[in-house]
Amino acid sequence: MNNFTIVKLLLLGYMGSGKTAVGERLAEVLDIPFYDLDLEIEKGGQKSVPEIFSEKGEIYFRKREVEVLQELLKSDERFVLSLGGGTPCYGNVMQIINKRAGVTSIFLKASVETLTHRLFPAKQHRPLIAHLQTEEELNDFIRKHLFERNFYYHQAALTVHADTTVREIISEIVARLF
């Protein structure tokens, strides 16, 4: 499956949509490297994303996010990259992604119910939602966020429904791309 013209696959979607789980497995299937944009940012600055947010602020983080993304996109390497949930919503990121030759953006679209079900048990590990007490509060929070972000997410070249298993999502991606 190494004979494909797509050089880079970028996974985007809300937290809990499966970007990392799908990305890691998809990269294995395609025999190419997997990168997580947040981890690449952390490597460059030797600080965690929450530390960067708290010490330098969101604007600094978003600028750094775009810089690291552009560095990755300039490489000749084939890879699968998981973006942060907010990455596509900053500045002209989707324009940068969609105009780049050899890059295909894939929106992993999960329902609010699926996202709530996946995120609630582990919400303490996600600073953005750790303060929410009930599944109903989380559900409302996700709905509001998706309302704001869907405009950007829907600019992806491909939308794949992510309410299923990792295996089914990967099968759909492979079938639609290759």
Enumerate the known binding-site residues for substrate: 38, 62, 85, 149
- Please say whether the beta carbons of 118 and 24 come within 8 A: no
User: 141-144 — which CB contacts under 8 Å span 24+ positions?
Assistant: 142/14, 142/112, 142/115, 142/116, 143/112
Q: How many Å apart are CA 66 and CA 22, to the nearest integer? A: 22
- Ranges assigned E (strand) in 51-109: 79-82, 103-109
Q: Which segments are annotated as binding site?
A: 16-21, 38, 62, 85, 126, 149
- Residues in a beta bridge with 107: 12, 159
Apex CA 57: angle with CA 56 and CA 61, to 5°? 85
| 8-state DSSP, 124 | G
Q: Which segments are annotated as binding site for ATP?
A: 16-21, 126
| 8-state DSSP, 33 | -
Q: Which residue has the tokens 């299923």?
A: 164
